[in-house]
C-alpha cells in the first residue's frame, strides 16, 4: 500500500483551546513525515473509560501545533466559526451535493455490510454441507435430505435481498470537507509558546519523537524513534536558563529516571548564545 500524501499546509482545528485533527490521512502523515504523534482521544460512548483502542480525533499539545505552524506545514483554524460559516454559505446546489455524497457513502457501506453477511452465510452452508458428506447418506433418507436441501437453498436464495433493495446506512462524516470547501490558510492564529517550547523544538530537531510525560512526572517523554517501536530514553523538563532548580528535584528526577531505565533531562535556551543546552542526570549512588 502506497503512503498517502497530504497537501501542505493543512488545517489544525482549534476547539476550546485544544488543537484537533479529524482526518485520519493527516494523522498518519504527520506521524510518518513530521514525527508528530499527538494523542488519540476518540472513545466509544458506551465505554468512556477505555483508552487502549482510542481513535480519531487526534489532539495535539500546543508545542506540536506551534511547531507545525512555524514550519509552514499547517495553519490554525477556529473550528466552530469555520464550520458555521461553511454551512451557512452553502448554496442549494451544494446542499444537494452534500446530501448525495452522504447517501452514496451510506449505500457503499450498506453494500459492504451485505457482502460480508453473504460470505458468512455461504461459509455456514459449506460447513454444514461438509459435515453432512462426512457422515455419509442414509439409504432410507437420501431422497428426503436431497429434497430438503434443495428447498433450503432455494429459500435462502429468495431471502437474500438484491443490491437494489439495500437501504443506505446513515453516515456521520469525520471531516467537513469535502464536500465543504477547505478553510483558507491564515497566519493570524498561533498556539502560545510555553516556557518549555525551546526544549521541545530542540529535541524534535534531533529527530526525537516526543509525547506528554505526565505518567512519569515530567513534561515530555523523548523516544529515539516511533513510540510503537522504541521505549523512551529521556524524561525531559524544560526550564528557563536563569531559573533556580531545587537540588531535591534533581535527585528525585535522577532516581526516578534511573529506576525506569531512562535519563532525567533538563534543558533551556541560553539567550546569550542563542542556543538550547541540555543536561542529563542519572542516579549512581549505591
pLDDT digit string, tens, across residues 230-262: 999 999 999 988 888 888 888 888 888 888 899
Q: Which of 223, 233, 264, 269 is catalytic?
A: 223
Domain ranges of the chain: 1-89, 92-165, 194-286
- Distance separating alpha carbons of residues 246 and 270, to the nearest angstrom: 19
Question: Annotated catalytic, 204?
Answer: no
Question: Annotated catalytic, 34?
Answer: no
Q: If you ran DSSP here, which 8-state letter would residue 178 be given?
A: T
Work out whether the CA dihedral 208, 209, 215, 220 comes out positive or negative.
Answer: positive
Question: Annotated catalytic, 116?
Answer: no
* pTM of the complete model: 0.70
Q: Which of 202, 262, 264, 269 is catalytic?
A: 262
Class at the top of the CATH hierarchy for domain 194-286: alpha beta
Which pLDDT score is estimated for 49?
66
Name which of 121-125, 145-149, 200-204 the model is least confident about.
Answer: 145-149
Q: Which of 119, 124, 127, 231 is catalytic?
A: 231
- Distance separating alpha carbons of residues 157 and 230, to the nearest angstrom: 52
Distances (CA, A) of 124 to 117, 131, 133, 160: 11, 11, 14, 14
Q: CA angle, corner 56, sides to 54 and 59, nearest 5?
A: 95
Distances (CA, A) of 196 to 85, 91, 236: 35, 46, 10
Query: Cβ distance 233 to 223 under 8 Å?
Result: yes
Which pLDDT score is estimated for 102?
82
- Residue 129: pLDDT band by 50, 70, 90 thresholds? low
Based on DSSP, count helices (H) and strands (E) in the chain, helices before strands. Answer: 7, 10
> Do 194-286 and 1-89 have the same topology in CATH?
no
Tens of pLDDT, residue by residue over 158-210, are 555 566 677 888 877 666 655 566 667 766 678 888 889 999 999 999 999 99
Helix, strand, coil content of the chain in percent (nearest 5): 45, 20, 40
Ramachandran bin of 38, using left for φ above 0, alpha for ψ from -120 to 50, beta for the remaining angles: left
Which pLDDT score is estimated for 240?
87
At 98, which helix (H) or strand (E)? helix 92-135
- Distance separating alpha carbons of residues 186 and 11, to the nearest angstrom: 9
Q: Which CATH number fits domain 1-89: 3.30.360.10, 3.40.1170.20, 3.40.190.10, 1.20.1370.10?
A: 3.40.1170.20
- Distance separating alpha carbons of residues 3 and 276, to the nearest angstrom: 34
Q: CA angle, corner 15, sides to 201 and 63, nearest 5?
A: 5
Which pLDDT score is estimated for 1?
47
Amino acid at each position: 500500500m502506497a503512503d498517502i500524501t497530504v497537501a501542505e499546509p493543512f488545517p489544525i482545528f482549534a476547539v476550546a483551546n485544544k488543537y484537533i485533527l479529524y482526518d485520519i490521512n493527516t494523522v498518519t502523515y504527520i506521524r510518518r513525515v513530521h514525527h508528530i504523534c499527538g494523542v488519540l482521544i476518540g472513545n466509544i460512548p458506551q465505554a468512556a473509560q477505555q483508552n487502549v483502542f482510542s481513535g480519531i480525533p487526534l489532539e495535539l499539545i500546543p508545542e506540536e501545533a506551534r511547531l507545525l505552524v512555524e514550519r509552514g506545514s499547517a495553519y490554525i483554524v477556529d473550528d466552530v466559526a469555520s464550520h458555521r460559516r461553511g454551512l451557512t454559505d452553502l448554496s442549494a446546489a451544494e446542499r444537494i451535493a452534500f446530501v448525495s455524497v452522504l447517501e452514496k457513502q451510506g449505500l457503499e457501506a450498506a453494500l459492504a455490510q451485505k457482502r460480508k453477511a453473504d460470505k458468512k452465510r455461504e461459509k455456514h452452508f459449506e460447513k454444514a454441507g461438509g459435515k453432512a458428506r462426512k457422515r455419509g447418506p442414509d439409504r432410507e433418507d437420501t431422497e428426503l435430505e436431497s429434497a430438503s436441501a434443495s428447498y433450503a437453498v432455494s429459500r435462502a436464495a429468495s431471502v437474500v435481498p438484491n443490491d437494489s433493495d439495500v437501504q443506505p446506512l446513515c453516515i456521520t462524516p469525520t471531516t467537513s470537507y469535502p464536500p465543504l470547501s477547505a478553510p483558507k490558510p491564515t497566519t493570524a492564529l498561533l498556539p502560545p509558546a510555553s516556557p518549555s517550547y525551546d526544549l521541545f523544538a530542540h529535541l524534535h530537531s534531533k529527530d526525537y519523537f516526543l509525547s506528554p510525560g505526565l505518567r512519569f512526572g515530567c513534561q515530555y517523554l523523548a523516544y529515539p524513534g516511533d513510540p510503537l517501536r522504541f521505549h523512551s530514553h529521556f524524561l525531559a523538563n524544560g526550564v528557563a536558563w536563569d531559573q533556580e532548580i531545587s537540588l531535591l528535584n534533581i535527585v528525585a528526577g535522577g532516581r526516578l529516571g534511573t529506576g525506569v531505565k531512562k535519563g532525567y533531562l533538563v534543558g533551556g535556551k541560553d539567550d546569550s548564545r542563542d542556543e538550547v543546552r541540555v543536561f542529563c542526570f542519572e542516579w549512581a549512588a549505591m
